[in-house]
Structure 1
Amino acid sequence: MSTESEAGKTGTELTDEQWREKLTPEEYRVLRQAGTEAPFVGEYTDTTTTGVYRCRACDAELFRSDQKFESHCGWPSFFSPLAGEAIIEKVDRSMGMKRTEVLCANCGSHLGHVFEGEGYDTPTDLRYCINSVSMRLEEA
């Protein structure tokens, strides 16, 4: 995992205007403005297809399907990102609470949040709660 100061250093660096041209309005709102898609409506919420989840903004590999689990939270959930420096974690104090935001280490796009110690029976006791619109699934 990287720190927030490293976001986008090795990856895609586009201007705001270029991001707006590249992404749909909903992708831009979530990926570049740290928005959240509505719960239980995302494309990958209930998907069990085998493959690799990639950043929709820059195509970097983020999560594998074998790290995905059903958390019933309304968004795709993973217990671990891909090994290495796939994501960045950053403190998020928005919405009147302290959370940990998850960003793509390659382009700095917002993916979702990670939560710890919620009693999930996973190898890491972590839940990476990721917006479907932030990813695309490359089927195996």
Structure 2
Amino acid sequence: MKKLILFCFTMTLFNCNSNAQKTEQKTYKVSKTDAEWKTQLSSIAYHVLREAGTEHPFTSPLNKNYKKGIYVCAACDTPLFKSEHKFDSGTGWPSFDREIKGNVAFGSDNKLGYSRDEEHCATCGGHLGHVFNDGPRDTTGKRHCINGVALKFIPKK
């Protein structure tokens, strides 16, 4: 019985949504209504970019793309990541060891009951993924785990 009470108390704590967890609405350089985003984006891209969803692992063709070029925001074409910073993390999502400075914004995501560092496009606010500290130790040590549907690849000419 004590274990059940402790479990219920723990779950209640993790599911509380305090004011500290709520974020202010931020104004972005590119701002559209939900209706405008829905006409521009596929349903999965809308879910990821505008509703902070996650695509299934190993479903993005960009996961195994190793061509030279640049990865831009699928919603507003802001350059986000360079191909030379991409690596195979084995997680099923495109991964990079660094972002293009100033083009990616960071925040906190507490939806799973613990805090994760969330990444957004700094221009339109589109949800990209999360950054973790388990990336390549010989570079930055960071793993930017990005939803492929949030990106467009532009090959180097």
Deviation at 1:5, TM superposition (A): 6.4
Q: What's 1:23 paired with?
A: 41
Q: Give the TM-score normalised by structure 2.
A: 0.80
1:115 pairs with one of 112, 115, 132: 132
Residue-pair matches, total: 134
- Higher strand fraction (1 or 2): 1
C-alpha distance in 2 between matches for 1:5 and 1:128? 24
Q: Which letter does structure 1 place at the counterpart of 2:151?
A: M
C-alpha distance in 2 between matches for 1:67 and 1:5? 31
- Secondary structure of the residue aligned to 1:26 is helix
The reply to whether residue 130 of structure 1 matches residue 146 of structure 2 is: yes
Q: What's 2:69 paired with?
A: 51
Deviations 1:97-125 (A, max 9, x none): 21011000000000000001x26334110
Paired residues of 1:7 and 1:104 also in contact (CA < 8 A): no
Q: Return closer, same or farther for 1:46/1:122 CA change in 2, 3 Å cut-off.
A: farther
Structure 1 gaps, min length 5: none
Structure 2 gaps, min length 5: 1-22
C-alpha distance in 2 between matches for 1:16 and 1:71? 33
Q: Give the TM-score normalised by structure 1.
A: 0.90
* Larger RCO, structure (CA 8 Å, separation 6 or more): 1
- Higher helix fraction (1 or 2): 2
Structure whose alpha-carbon radius of gyration is higher: 2
C-alpha distance in 2 between matches for 1:129 and 1:34? 13
1:106 pairs with one of 100, 110, 123: 123
Deviations 1:62-85 (A, max 9, x none): 0000010111111000000113x1
Identity in percent: 39
